Amino acid sequence: MMDAKKYIDTIPAVKDVAEKKETVWVNPRFLPFEVTDGVCQLVVSDEDIADAEARLARFAPFIMRCFPETRETNGLIESPLADIPKMQKALQETYGVSIPGRLMLKMDSHLAIAGSIKARGGIYEVLKHAEDLATLAGKLRVDEDYAKLADDEMKAFFGQYTVQVGSTGNLGLSIGIMSAALGFKVKVHMSADARQWKKDLLRSKGVEVIEYADDYSKAVAEGRRNSDADPMSYFVDDEKSVNLFLGYAVAAKRLKAQFDEMGIVIDEAHPLIVTIPAGVGGAPGGVAYGLKRVFKDNVHCFLAEPVMCPSVLLGLATQEYEKANVHEFGISGVTEADGLACAAPSGFVTRILQNLVSGDFTVDDYRLYDYLRLLHGTEGKLIEPSSCAAFIGPCMLLQYEASRQYCAEHGLDEKRLANSVQIAWATGGRLVPEEIWKEYLAKEMKH
């Protein structure tokens, strides 16, 4: 058993977390990128990321054939980057805070096919698995037109195999939809906090959904056990997968291309500050890692987690990594941010992030709906409540002493902050049914 009291007594942010207060943890082990680069490259190298990009390009003809909505992007699954000046103004006025620079929304909430950030990693891992199986069986060459993977013969081939995953919802959607499109049998193991509409959508695609009355960790453990017992089954492991991580890491170069198109320069005088909601840590970890590889010390990556489930913060702050469970700190793990309801973080990702991530903000559940209404009212955009956690970073960066000090220590003075781009990274929302949006927009929670 971990000695939670020791950390509560010695780390102020952990004390706040145990008291279920909104807080920020600033990473005392954060290092300049060139110091960490060599170690990180051993785990995931630039070549690995380039290989992932090339694989996604090979699959583009298949993706266009199966998912016509991707034709306008030539089979590339990429999301819009939007300026949200009215939201920025509304946040400042509503909360009496200062949000310097240019506030933007990276709308992974609207990624094609799966409608969430999980479309990056989840779809990539399924595609890589399909390519591995088909090339090994002599049914596919990497120089062929991958559109052939949509043929009945290939579907029959993939139909011999099963893909399984444990999920709170969005990863299950991305794995389920793409695996089913290829012809795989699919089992998604879902935790109690997964939304009903996500289960219904998966079942409508022919996916077997197995429900647990327990939390995310249980769904993953059962999914892994179930898959291990079947030699024809492949388990997508959200807690340990390098392939998932690679799919997320590709986002950084895509973002750079969007900046270039918009004439946005990121350099020492024009820093980038990003806040990404975190569940088990895989998606934000992969994205943050990719961003550091592209923008190096000119990007500052913060995570955002619900007050009731800040597992990545605890894993990083205590350096107990996957052993840090919110329940040990007297926290329920039950949150409106269903996509972030992971009681223990990924050990693989927290170890990679230990010197790369700048910090982690926690956010009360009630704010998620307040932010959602504000975004909808000002910009006409809708993102899942979990995604709205991303707004806590821009709102609170200059409010906490610890994050103000971080800015001072890393050259983020008034002038540089005024020239900065701040991104709230939206993680899900496109597939939410109309009636659920009405529920979300009407939901008021006690402060």
Verify that 363 and 337 share a domain, yes or no. yes
Instruction: Evaluate whether residue 447 is within a structural domain.
Output: no
Which residues constitute the domain of residue 136?
118-241
- 66 pLDDT higher than 90: yes
Verify that 345 and 270 share a domain, yes or no. yes
- Indicate the burial class of 360 (C-beta count within 10 angstroms; 0-12, 13-18, 19 or more): buried
- 216 pLDDT higher than 90: no
Which one-letter DSSP state was computed for residue 356?
A: T
In whole angstroms, how far apart are CA 184 and each of 179, 233, 244, 296?
5, 10, 18, 39
Instruction: Evaluate whether residue 221 is within a structural domain.
Output: yes
Phi, psi of 344 (to 5 degrees): -130, 145
| Domain stop point among 207, 241, 275 | 241
Question: Quick one: pLDDT band at residue 97, thresholds 50, 70, 90?
Answer: very high
d(C-alpha 236, C-alpha 322), whole Å: 18
| Domain stop point among 225, 241, 257 | 241
Verify that 229 and 316 share a domain, yes or no. no
Instruction: Evaluate whether residue 172 is within a structural domain.
Output: yes
Q: What is the pLDDT of residue 25?
A: 98
Verify that 73 and 183 share a domain, yes or no. no
d(C-alpha 41, C-alpha 149), whole Å: 33
Verify that 124 and 150 share a domain, yes or no. yes
Instruction: Evaluate whether residue 8 is within a structural domain.
Output: yes
pTM score, whole prediction: 0.96
Verify that 358 and 432 share a domain, yes or no. yes
Instruction: Evaluate whether residue 223 is within a structural domain.
Output: yes
Instruction: Evaluate whether residue 329 is within a structural domain.
Output: yes
Verify that 307 and 427 share a domain, yes or no. yes
- 156 pLDDT higher than 80: yes
Q: What is the pLDDT of residue 359?
A: 98
Verify that 263 and 348 share a domain, yes or no. yes
Verify that 235 and 257 share a domain, yes or no. no
Verify that 270 and 416 share a domain, yes or no. yes
Rounded to an integer, the average pLDDT of 190-198 is: 87
Rounded to an integer, the average pLDDT of 375-398 is: 98
Q: Which residue in the block uniquely carries the two structure tokens 């699959």?
A: 59
Rounded to an integer, the average pLDDT of 337-349 is: 93
Work out the number of other CB atoms within 10 angstroms of the CB of residue 3.
Answer: 11
pLDDT tens for residues 227-284? 999 999 999 998 889 999 999 999 999 999 999 999 999 999 999 999 999 999 999 9
| Domain stop point among 190, 224, 241 | 241
d(C-alpha 291, C-alpha 253), whole Å: 8
Verify that 207 and 353 share a domain, yes or no. no
CATH number assigned to the domain comprising residue 38 = 3.40.50.1100
Give the number of domains in the chain. Answer: 2
Rounded to an integer, the average pLDDT of 191-200 is: 87
Verify that 285 and 383 share a domain, yes or no. yes
